[in-house]
Chains A and B, each alone.
Chain A
Amino acid sequence: MAAPAYRFDLFETSPRKEQEQVRPEQEVKATPELKVAVTSPAKSGKPIIIGIIFALVFAVFFMYIYSMGKMNEVNERINAANAQLEEAQAINQTLQTQLAGSVSLDNVEKYAEQELGMQKINPSQEKYVEMQFGSMSECAEDDSGDIFVTIRNWFDSVLVYLGF
């Protein structure tokens, strides 16, 4: 038999009640068995749910903090990489400028004359040759009549026109 939901005897301590308690036994009819689901505190599961909820909240909170931290870290690496890139670009530009200065025409001429012992070419050492025809050669057109060759040639000319 299930335990009663309320233990009134714990609440009433008046003599009337105590007397009532001495009454002769009445015929007690057995009440029909009630099948009531029993959940003992030990098996209720509320702490687990709360625990899971806490764990989830903690996990979300942890992930948020972790992601912020990771983002900071990545951003710092990006900033550092950008700074390195800017520095490398600045160094590159400085070196390009130094290179341009070192290969100036003045330096090149002085080096050629003083170090390599070279001389400027004399006009009489140049021989100009007059070409009778243009310096470009032309390919003879393929007029074999083959339709596939024609289509291919047309396609090639389109590609040339487009600059490929």
Chain B
Amino acid sequence: MDSKLTKGMRTRLIFVIIFCLVLLTGYVSAVLFNAAIINHKEMTAMANEQQQQSTSIKSNRGTIYDRNNKVLAQSTTTWDVIISPYDINENEPENMEFICQGLADILDVSYSDLIEACKDTESPYHRVKRDVDRTVIEQLNTFIAKNDLYSTSIFTEESSVRTYPNGALSSSVLGFVNDNEEGYGLEYYYNDYLKGVDGRVVTLTDNFGNPLPYDKEERYEAKDGNSLITTIDETLQYYLEKNLEITVSQHKLENRSTGIIMNCKTGAIVAMATYPAYDPNNPSYIYFEKDRKVLAQMSDDGVAQELIDEKESVLREQQWRNKAVSELYIPGSVFKTVTCAAALEEKVVSLDSTFECTGIADVAGTKIRCWSSGGHGVSTLTQAMERSCNPAFIKIGQLLGADKFSKYFAAFGFTEKTGIDLPGEVDSLYVSRDNMGIVELSSSAFGQTNKITPIQMITAFAAVVNGGKLLTPYLVEKIIDPDGNVIKATEPTVRRQVISEETSELMRGILESVVTTNGGSNAYISGYRIAGKSGTSEKIDDYNSGADSELRYVATFAAAVPANDPEYVMLVICDEPTSGFIYGSAIAAPVVSQVFKEGLEYLNIYPQYTAEELAQQDVAVPYVAGYNSIRAEANLNAAGLNAEFIGSTDGTYVTGQVPSSGEVIPKGGTVMLYMGDVPFSEYKISKVPNVIGLTVTEANKALADAGLNIRITGASGNSEAKAVSQSISAGWSAYRGSIIEVNFLVNDETG
């Protein structure tokens, strides 16, 4: 028999094979069809659910810069440290205590809290600490690697934190926002520009969570927030805050201080400070020591915790509040600049007008006192401003009339918000025209009735000196996107012309004389032309309402520089001084003076000394050691100083001098020169006299008589100025010829 396949067999075999193949193919096709076409949606959903992983890409919040592109606020990357109690118990339960102890040591957290968290063995996620910086994370990574711990037991998540590198500097302007996007300052006002839009990466992952090939990834890039270029100058801001801090400490202010420096030609705010402020890096911390003491005292007194928490909340909100825009105050005599400008503009007064002051004015039966109880006698308009005479301005207000007064009050912007780009600007409280009787008009004219914000006052003061233009103040110059493109820029805005250029020029002259009168007020700086006005207001509303049992004061000073063509104006307000001084000229004017001394050259405004100022300038003591007596004396005389020799001058040389070379003393001072072998132990000693309360001339004489030199600071040229402090206390001993620095102050309403 032939075992070879026949044709029929082959045909049948092929048929069977094909049939099987068709069956198989048909089955596979049917399954595929079912999965890909009929159950397409369910299958896709199941696959996506299993494989798809979505990760958020955090966007960066925009940065806030000062006008010189220095960073004021920036977001930096931090990490949150997470543990997985489930994984710890699953993979390395024997290491649990070791892990908790290590974390407690590195992160400075509670060991017992960690142990407690690890008892929840079902939990895969427990946040140990937030916002940990890089150095600590590196320690943590070293700890994990060194001890071969599971990466699923301890891991980190990237986060970001808002950082303010200068701490509390400009905190009242910058502000902050919380997680709910509520907050203060520029951070809140421009939040929509600053915040970015988070991105997302959608990838397919394998069984182990590793991403599948790259082209399967869908990426939606994060859009970083825009950045702000502000008008703030970090250097000026620092000078302002530093001097406010000194004043708060010196005069023990009970209700904070505020200062604003503005470009009076554009309205750009170059510095704005409230002190005490807070550190936006930790806004919850109560910064004002007095407030912390209040809370501590409440705790010591056993007050209920709820009341303490409530008080703490009130204090916290107060410290966040920007005093320059969100608090009202009675402007006091600074407001006289507005009354005077309005009266000159309406020509109801002129420079030749005269006013009589007996110390008290009777207005429809109401007695209104002048700060000078003895009265000023007859004053011209300029003198009335220099003397800050209340009866004179009552008269000016009455000459202006209620209608025109109200009109200029509104024209100078006191009835509306300034429109500054900060949140929380409040409306003023003022007597409307309908309610303005003769008494209200009279007291309003010298600034003792209406309550306004500091930003309204400085804007109006700028209009008085800048040619009459009422500007809109602003803090943000431009907004840029992450690529540096400008998406919004602020242009200076003139709201209206309030007074004429001629009137403004007259006002500049009057206000300059306020600062230079009597040889210079507390705001006077040699070489600079400064226009200014002080103000001291009584918080009469709080006193009359019983809110305060004691009458308190607000000391203010407004200044413009240079007086002939002002570029910058500054306003300083010191609320409730308790040092014994109350006048704006004594408390606020020195702040203005000091800030200008430090800041004007920085602003490229250089001194131009008159011959008289040059003659009065201090000199540096020259180096004369090793010279003979003739040569030493000649050198000292050339510098405008005198020499006093101790020891024989025959053939000897100077071996010691007091004061030493480089020290600065007024011309006419005396330098002690020790000749030959006079030992140090034989240097002459003088007892320092008490010069507090003496005038410049008296103090100079007293110190000269004691063989000491004087260095004068403060209102050095003013004949009314009295010494308020001396660098070495009375009764102490000092080497003959030593320099005693004495600070002089004019302590009244003038200046």
Task: Name A's B-contacting residues (CB within 8 A).
Answer: 10, 68, 71-72, 75, 78-79, 90-91, 93-94, 96-98, 100-101, 104-106, 120, 122-125, 128
- Asked if A93 contacts B234 (CB within 8 A), the reply is no
Q: Considering the complex, which residues of chain B in the window 66-81 have a beta carbon less than 8 Å from any beta carbon of chain A?
A: 70-71, 74, 76-77
Q: Considering the complex, which residues of chain B in the window 231-285 have a beta carbon less than 8 Å from any beta carbon of chain A?
A: 234-235, 238, 242
Smallest beta-carbon distance A93→chain B, Å = 5
- Asked if A90 contacts B76 (CB within 8 A), the reply is yes
- Asked if A100 contacts B242 (CB within 8 A), the reply is no
* B165 CB–A CB distance under 8 Å: yes
CA of A78 to CA of B219 in the docked complex: distance in angstroms? 15
Selected contact of B607 from candidates A72, A91, A120, A123, CB within 8 Å: A123
A-B contact pairs, 16 of them (CB 8 A): A68-B213, A72-B213, A72-B214, A75-B213, A90-B77, A93-B74, A97-B74, A97-B165, A100-B165, A104-B169, A104-B238, A105-B238, A106-B238, A123-B607, A123-B618, A124-B620
Selected contact of B166 from candidates A90, A101, A125, CB within 8 Å: A101
CA of A101 to CA of B169 in the docked complex: distance in angstroms? 11
B residues near A123, Cβ cutoff 8 Å: 526-527, 597, 607, 617-618
- Asked if A100 contacts B70 (CB within 8 A), the reply is yes
Q: Which residue of A lies closest to B665 (CB)?
A: A124
Contact flags B1-22 to A (C-beta < 8 A → 1, else 0): 0100000000000000000000
- Asked if B235 contacts A105 (CB within 8 A), the reply is yes
Given A71-B213, A128-B607, list of 18 further CB < 8 A pairs? A10-B2, A68-B213, A72-B214, A75-B213, A75-B214, A78-B214, A91-B134, A93-B74, A94-B77, A97-B71, A100-B166, A101-B165, A106-B167, A120-B598, A122-B618, A122-B620, A124-B618, A124-B664
- Asked if B234 contacts A105 (CB within 8 A), the reply is yes
CA of A37 to CA of B379 in the docked complex: distance in angstroms? 140
Given contacts A123-B607, A124-B619, contact A100 B71 (CB under 8 A): yes
Selected contact of B76 from candidates A71, A94, A104, A122, CB within 8 Å: A94
Q: How many residues of B contact A (CB 8 A)?
A: 32
Q: Which residue of A lies closest to B614 (CB)?
A: A124
Selected contact of B77 from candidates A93, A100, A122, CB within 8 Å: A93
- Asked if A122 contacts B664 (CB within 8 A), the reply is yes
Q: Which residue of B lies closest to A69 (CB)?
A: B213
A residues near B527, Cβ cutoff 8 Å: 123
* B606 CB–A CB distance under 8 Å: yes
A residues near B105, Cβ cutoff 8 Å: none
Task: Name B's A-contacting residues (CB within 8 A).
Answer: 2, 70-71, 74, 76-77, 133-134, 158, 163, 165-167, 169, 211, 213-214, 234-235, 238, 242, 526-527, 597-598, 606-607, 617-620, 664
Q: Which residue of B lies closest to A101 (CB)?
A: B165
A residues near B166, Cβ cutoff 8 Å: 100-101, 104, 106
B residues near A68, Cβ cutoff 8 Å: 213
A residues near B2, Cβ cutoff 8 Å: 10
Smallest beta-carbon distance A87→chain B, Å = 8
Q: Which residue of A lies closest to B160 (CB)?
A: A90
CA of A78 to CA of B213 in the docked complex: distance in angstroms? 12
CA of A105 to CA of B527 in the docked complex: distance in angstroms? 26
CA of A125 to CA of B601 in the docked complex: distance in angstroms? 14
B residues near A105, Cβ cutoff 8 Å: 234-235, 238
CA of A71 to CA of B134 in the docked complex: distance in angstroms? 32
A residues near B169, Cβ cutoff 8 Å: 104, 106
- Asked if B242 contacts A106 (CB within 8 A), the reply is yes
A residues near B242, Cβ cutoff 8 Å: 106
Q: Which residue of B lies closest to A90 (CB)?
A: B77
B residues near A75, Cβ cutoff 8 Å: 213-214
- Asked if B134 contacts A125 (CB within 8 A), the reply is no
- Closest 7 pairs (CB-CB, A-B): A90-B77, A101-B165, A100-B165, A75-B214, A124-B618, A105-B238, A94-B76
CA of A127 to CA of B598 in the docked complex: distance in angstroms? 16
CA of A128 to CA of B526 in the docked complex: distance in angstroms? 14
Q: Which residue of A lies closest to B77 (CB)?
A: A90
B residues near A100, Cβ cutoff 8 Å: 70-71, 165-166
Smallest beta-carbon distance B138→chain A, Å = 10
CA of A91 to CA of B214 in the docked complex: distance in angstroms? 27
CA of A128 to CA of B614 in the docked complex: distance in angstroms? 11
CA of A91 to CA of B78 in the docked complex: distance in angstroms? 9
B residues near A104, Cβ cutoff 8 Å: 165-167, 169, 238
CA of A96 to CA of B74 in the docked complex: distance in angstroms? 10
Smallest beta-carbon distance A6→chain B, Å = 13
Given contacts A100-B70, A106-B242, contact A94 B167 (CB under 8 A): no
- Asked if B76 contacts A97 (CB within 8 A), the reply is yes
Q: Which residue of A lies closest to B163 (CB)?
A: A97
CA of A93 to CA of B224 in the docked complex: distance in angstroms? 15
CA of A124 to CA of B640 in the docked complex: distance in angstroms? 13
A residues near B133, Cβ cutoff 8 Å: 94
- Asked if A125 contacts B664 (CB within 8 A), the reply is yes
